[in-house]
Amino acid sequence: MVPPWRITARIFALLPALAQPAAAGGFSVEEQKLVADIRQKMDQTTQLLIYAYENEEKMDLAEMKRVLASFRELSRFFSNIPDRKFERQTGSFCVGAASFVWSYWNYTALYKEYRGTSLEAALSVPKDQRALKERQKDLLEGHFWTFLKCRIHLQQISTQLEDKARAEKINIAAIAPIKKESSDLIKEIIKNKNVANETTLNDITKRAERLYRYYYPIHNIGISPGWLFCETLADKPFFIWKEYINRHGPNSKKEKLPTDLYNIGFNFLIAQYYTSVGLCDNHIEEYKKKSP
């Protein structure tokens, strides 16, 4: 299995530089259309992934290649998002977002076509079924993480500059109680990831929304580069709940994932949450040493 930090490094290579864009007067019609198009392509990618995952064992090679061609077209769309056109860099965290899922299916098709042939080594075909499953899992983890980052970006971008400007002012001392609230909530989310009780679901939603209001205040503290990881305390519980569990979990009415596939994404998102929290702790510790 590829260590999470290696997948994280690859993911960050897909993301834009963190320099702040110049202030813009508003969110243009062109940007609104781009966001709508990206969301539509994300939905198409998810539906194709569900079909591919559920039918892998019974597909013939021709059907696998047809599916691969569809993944390739989706990947091209995400790779060609014109984010540099806009002062807000609209779409920037979605550039290349389908590369992991294309790679996932590409290796699956290569395994079916070239396993046991003279081209096996040259094409880096997994040596056996176990190796294939491990590689698939690593790439699916990367896919769910990049898609979550893209969904976060799409929700925030239209009012991001304005939200930053009017965010509550806090200092580094506020991080500790926010971390406690975040930690308690993520444990509750883990406990209830498959629950259908409406009262419980509403309670978690309210807690997640309340925690998320600290996102821009944390961002504005500016503990560079640790702020990126500390933001996780506020935004990841909210978006894991809203954009992963509610969208893909057992109670989803739109994009419910097969159980095994759902667990691959969920477990990795939770692992990334704890990795980021640990990195936030490290950065705050270093900051305090330099600025006692």
pLDDT average per 10 residues of sequence, the chain (292 residues): 46 39 64 97 98 96 97 97 92 96 96 91 90 96 97 94 92 93 97 88 95 93 77 95 94 91 98 96 86 69
Distance of alpha carbon 177 from alpha carbon 192, whole angstroms: 23
Residues 36 and 110 in one domain: yes
Residues 117 and 190 in one domain: no
Instruction: Please report whether residue 37 resides in a domain.
Output: yes
Instruction: Please report whether residue 22 resides in a domain.
Output: no
pLDDT of 197 reads 83
Instruction: Please report whether residue 162 resides in a domain.
Output: no
Instruction: Please report whether residue 65 resides in a domain.
Output: yes
pLDDT of 50 reads 97
Residues 95 and 182 in one domain: no
Contacts of the segment 3-8: beta carbons below 8 A, 24+ positions apart: 4/141, 4/268, 4/271, 4/272, 4/275, 5/275, 7/138, 7/141, 7/142, 7/145, 8/145, 8/272, 8/275
Q: Three-state secondary structure along the chain?
A: CCCHHHHHHHHHHHCCCCCCCCCCCCCCHHHHHHHHHHHHHHHHHHHHHHHHHHHHHHCCHHHHHHHHHHHHHHHHHHHCCCHHHCCCCCCHHHCCCCHHHHHHHHHHHHHHHHCCCCCCCCCCCCCCHHHHHHHHHHHHHHHHHHHHHHHHHHHHHHHHHHHHHCCCCCCHHHHHHHHHHHHHHHHHHHHCCCCCCHHHHHHHHHHHHHHHCCHHHHHHHCCCCCHHHHCHHHHHHHHHHHHHHHHHCCCCCCCCCCHHHHHHHHHHHHHHHHHHHHHHHHHHHHHHHHCC
81 and 93 Cβ atoms separated by less than 8 Å: no
Residues 8 and 127 in one domain: yes
Instruction: Please report whether residue 204 resides in a domain.
Output: yes
Torsion angle of alpha carbons 203, 205, 210, 212, nearest 10°? 150
Residues 11 and 139 in one domain: yes
pLDDT of 223 reads 65
The domain boundary, picked from 106, 138, 157, lies at: 157
Instruction: Please report whether residue 36 resides in a domain.
Output: yes
Residue 113 sits at φ, ψ, to 5 deg, of -85, -35
Residues 92 and 173 in one domain: no
Residue 109 sits at φ, ψ, to 5 deg, of -70, -40
Residues 136 and 190 in one domain: no
Counted domains in the chain: 2
Residues 186 and 286 in one domain: yes
Taken as a whole, the chain contains a residue count of 292
Instruction: Please report whether residue 21 resides in a domain.
Output: no
The domain boundary, picked from 157, 179, 211, lies at: 157
The domain boundary, picked from 110, 138, 157, lies at: 157
Residues 121 and 199 in one domain: no
Handedness of CA 223, 228, 229, 230 (dihedral sign): positive
Kindly list the distances between the CA atom of residue 253 and the CA atoms of 250, 256, 258, 263, in Å, as whole numbers in the listed order. Answer: 9, 7, 13, 17
Residues 124 and 231 in one domain: no
Residues 114 and 9 in one domain: yes
Residues 209 and 271 in one domain: yes
Distance of alpha carbon 97 from alpha carbon 221, whole angstroms: 28
Based on its alpha-carbon atoms, the radius of gyration of the chain, rounded to whole angstroms, reads: 20
Domain range for 209: 167-290
Instruction: Please report whether residue 41 resides in a domain.
Output: yes
